[in-house]
Amino acid sequence: MLQLLIPDRLRGRVFAFEFAALTLTQSISTLWAGYAYDNLGWSLAETLFSAGVVSIFATAGWMLFYLRVRERSALLAEAER
């Protein structure tokens, strides 16, 4: 959805950043799950629950960012008219 709000000349860069952030997030979550399971003595259920909680907060943060970008984009579009 974010790519729809970005000018064509920047769209590739935005997609590359979004993909890089996704890859980094997956790597960190895998590292965290292994660490929590092996070193903290958490059960599989506790490890998955913690990953779910972090995912909820990450999704909420991303949605707030998206809504802010969409609002700014709408304001800029109105100013150009």
Instruction: Give tens-digit pLDDT for 50-69.
Output: 888 888 998 899 899 888 98
Residue 10: inside a domain, yes or no? Answer: no
> pLDDT at residue 6 above 80?
no
Residue 65: inside a domain, yes or no? Answer: yes
- Calculated CA dihedral for residues 45, 38, 30, 53, nearest 10 degrees: 40
Residue 48 CA to residue 81 CA, distance in Å, equals 49
Instruction: Count how many domains the chain has.
Output: 1
Residue 77: inside a domain, yes or no? Answer: yes
- Residue 61 C-alpha from the chain's centroid: 7
Residue 64: inside a domain, yes or no? Answer: yes
Q: pLDDT tens across 7-32, in order?
A: 888 888 888 988 998 899 889 888 98
pLDDT band, very low/low/confident/very high, at 76 (cuts 50, 70, 90):
confident
**Looking up tokens 């590359």, which residue turns up?**
16
Residue 32: inside a domain, yes or no? Answer: no
pTM over 0.75: no
Backbone φ, ψ for residue 76 (5° rounding): -65, -40
Residue 7: inside a domain, yes or no? Answer: no
Half-sphere exposure of 79 (CA within 13 A, CB side): 6
